[in-house]
Chains A and B, each alone.
Chain A
Amino acid sequence: MNEALLQAHDLVKTYIMGDNVVNALNGVSLAIHEGEMVAIRGPSGSGKSTLMNILGCLDRPTSGRYVLAGEDVSQMDDNAQANARNRKIGFVFQTFNLLPRMRAIENVELPLLYSGAMNAKKKAMAALEAVGLAERYHHLPNQLSGGQKQRVAIARAMVTDPAIILADEPTGALDTKTGEDILNLFKNLNRDHGRTIIIVTHDLKVADFCEREIYLRDGKIVPSERSISRRLPLEQAPPAEGRHLIEPAREA
């Protein structure tokens, strides 16, 4: 197998709160390959947010090594981290986090403006097309539905052609149907465009959409009793409440 796109070795993150030492991450190692769609799941307090922040170059591990697309990004300074976030990572947030005074196209353009890329407008338009919102490019966020906002956010995440798209509870603020649509969009981007996607969630149904699940508990990766693979026959796949989520994906 090729060198993994994302490699984490023995990540430890320690917080000191007063006299208490809290190990939010307690030796996490993982590898994610290009073109994978992976869920990071765990109950609250499991350390998944901490792991996401480190994988997203928003935070630095106390110890351990994190290599993203061939570059060790674990102990970079603020500027280098900002650069890494800009070029290698696309963020999708639970609450969309679009800038309210900017039109859809301007929101999508923004990462390109920070990197000083050429043809920002063209690339932004292409990204909006890929999420099916090209005709709404001139709308302000408050003129868009929740699902549309999240599509704009996804377009913004992929406009720089990043190594990974990191989505934090991307369906958390959406109704079931719209959430499904968004997950299907991720699936399409993964299958048809070869995007590497990491979804952080506590929601089993969301995790079921992914090929692989990394399950975190108490700052450690533990084997998930419900690891899903696309190779699994449907009969063995998720129970009833998860099934309706999977079917549209198969049609897509």
Chain B
Amino acid sequence: MLLWIIIRSSFQSLMANKTRSLLAMLGIIIGVGAVIAMLAMGAGAQQQILSSIQSMGTNLLMVRPAQISSGGVYGGMAQTMSVEDAVALSLLPGVEAVTPAVQGMAQVAYGNRNSHTSVAGGSVTFFQIRNFQIDQGRSFTEEEAEGLARVAVLGPVTASNLFGANSPLGERVRINGILFTVVGITKAKGDQGWFNPDDQVFVPYTTAMKLLFGQTVLREIDVSCADGVDLNVVSGEPASADPWHREGFKHDTPPPMTSIAGVLRLRHKLAADTADDFRVQSQADIIAMASDNIWTFRILLASIALISLLVGGIGIMNIMLVTVTERTREIGTRKAIGAKNRDILLQFLVESIVMSGVGGTLGALMGIGLAKGIPLIPIFNRFLTIVEPAVVILAISVAAFVGIFFGLYPAYRASRLDPIEALRYE
């Protein structure tokens, strides 16, 4: 029997019972829709995170304390990185600028408005190293940066949160209750979804450490390298060092004294056979880490969606079993006029594939609609979604495969019906 006749009659029987077909397909529709929407959100998040990492500036190396463990027991972060380390690093060849980087959350208030905001502490070079530009006013001076000055530069979002349309320049805001004078506003970088660089307050690192967060050691030193310099040479750690490994790198040969690792090992008086008590990470490391993270996240999302596809398949199997029972006499008649077992098998298999294929297509439309629609909803407008054509094709194919898999058993049952029994069935 010609395949297209089977396909056509499958569509006819699909249309003959529209409500039931739609309900049977619902699981597949939701499953495929969810796969596409979730993967679109994952792809969007990936894009945002990667571009936000890149927006921090290339040529950037970040030095952070390593995790200490003795005999496999976690012992917290090394408390050895100092402001003097940062100064020492700034003298290395190939290094353009260095800033201590302090990060924390604080309550920022002006008048009766306040917001819980991220506070970044840095030196004068912080803005240049992190790729921030000053839109209005100025950044802080070296004296301010080193001298515990109570001055602040606001991100544009924080500025408008606190001041609305008024100019904040020269006004005094309270950060954790301490008064700071606003001296500048940064230029907008754009929301990155998971973190908004425009919603933060920049203060001198000395002020952040002593007055706001009470820190005596540094948790991050940012090093900006000159163009064309090999970052691995400056860092003194190989690029292949596992970005997931939070413990310090163990050197086979001591790193040169012209590298970050060499200088810090000397300053921290580390013996030759001990591991670094810090980690040097480049953008590439962080991108690899973030991509890894996002990949895990996307696989998680996709597997949740795949489970609903599976449930959808069970829905189709259920309705196909009902259909086979309902059409027992039809099957008997078809067999009596010469349909072979495999003709019947093919007919019901095609019917379930058509059902899941139509469901998959409707689901794909729904998923694309969702992916396009989510960023239009005000509270979700931070999300970026990217619908990849390959994902759409994959999702529909998986749906069709689900149709084959879950259609096989009902179709097999139909094909094995005894024609005499089937003809007698009421």
Which A residues are closer than 8 A to B by beta carbons? 53, 56, 58-59, 78-79, 82-83, 85-87, 90-91, 93, 97, 99, 101-102, 110-111, 113-116, 156, 160
Contact = CB atoms under 8 A, between A and B. Distances in A.
B9 A101 contact: yes
Given A97-B329, A116-B1, A86 B420 contact: no
Contacts of A101: 9, 12-13, 16
A85 B333 contact: no
- For the complex of A and B, the 8 pairs showing the least CB-CB separation, nearest first, are A86-B338, A97-B333, A82-B340, A114-B338, A111-B337, A91-B336, A113-B1, A85-B338
Given A58-B419, A101-B13, A82 B335 contact: yes
Interface in B331-354: 332-341, 343
A56 B338 contact: no
B421 to A, nearest CB: 10
22 contacts: A53-B420, A56-B336, A58-B419, A58-B420, A78-B341, A79-B341, A82-B338, A83-B340, A85-B337, A86-B338, A87-B338, A91-B336, A91-B337, A93-B336, A93-B423, A97-B329, A97-B336, A99-B334, A113-B2, A113-B5, A114-B337, A114-B343
Contacts of B419: 58
B338 A115 contact: yes
B336 A58 contact: yes
Given A93-B423, A101-B13, A102-B9, A114 B339 contact: yes
A61 to B, nearest CB: 13
Contacts of A99: 330, 333-334
Given A82-B335, A93-B336, 17 more contacts: A56-B336, A79-B340, A82-B338, A83-B338, A85-B336, A85-B337, A85-B338, A91-B336, A97-B332, A97-B333, A97-B336, A99-B333, A101-B12, A101-B13, A111-B337, A113-B2, A116-B1
Nearest to B330: A99
A219 B330 CA distance: 29
A222 B135 CA distance: 112
A59 B9 CA distance: 29
Contacts of B9: 101-102
Interface of B: 1-2, 5, 9, 12-13, 16, 329-330, 332-341, 343, 419-420, 423
A157 to B, nearest CB: 8
A86 B332 CA distance: 13
Contact of A93 (B1, B16, B333): B333
A78 B340 contact: yes
Contacts of B338: 82-83, 85-87, 111, 114-115, 160
Contacts of B1: 113-114, 116
Nearest to A156: B337
A53 B419 CA distance: 10
A53 B420 CA distance: 7
A58 B339 CA distance: 12
Contacts of B329: 97
A91 B330 CA distance: 14
A71 B212 CA distance: 101
Nearest to B424: A49
A161 to B, nearest CB: 13
Nearest to B419: A58
A114 B334 CA distance: 9
Contacts of B336: 56, 58, 85, 91, 93, 97
B22 to A, nearest CB: 18
Contacts of A102: 9
A198 B335 CA distance: 19
